Amino acid sequence: MLTGVLFVCHANLCRSPMAEYTARRLLAGRPLTVASAGTDAVEGLEMHPHAAEIAAGAGADPAAFRSRRLASAHLTEAVLVLTATRRQRSICTALAPAALHRTFTLRQFGRLAAAAAPATDEPDDSLEAAVAAAALARGRLQPAPADADDLRDPVAGTPADFRACAEEIERSLRPLAALIGAAG
């Protein structure tokens, strides 16, 4: 059974946890699960301190967060898989080929969702409807430059780098939230 949104980055310490917490806030009140994992994560680590500060500043409590390594089951159970980079998207689709049509980079999906017409034919599952609508928009958009899809890793950066990354994550997730809202 497919359930929710999975965010994937390298170590599951910065980008994917910030995306997870941002999505939880933007999609609050929806019956969706939101989770994250890392392609090369070490199990059980705390969120990066700068990422935790951003999550706490947005009203979340990141104290219980622990990193987890990506497994094929995570991918096969997700309705939508959003990765930080094209490389991670490739790893995800190699690990679970059945997830190919519902795996995107976060920035790519944000562009597609912004260009999508709201789907109204699947009222029972607004997330699946949003994914289908965004996938249909793919044929109407010009391909973006390759570097337009990758979300820069702030891990060695300053708090300002983390804030910039968090802002980019939110910009990319707002169209998804709007599309889900329009679908039901």
82 SS3 class: strand
Stretches in the chain below the pLDDT threshold 70? 1-2, 119-124, 183-184
Q: Which residues contact 41 (CB under 8 A, 6 or more apart)?
A: 10, 11, 12, 13, 67, 68, 69, 70
| pLDDT of the residue at 119 | 64
The C-alpha atoms of residue 97 and residue 62 are separated, in whole angstroms, by: 32
Q: How many CB atoms lie within 10 A of CB 93?
A: 18
| pLDDT of the residue at 136 | 87
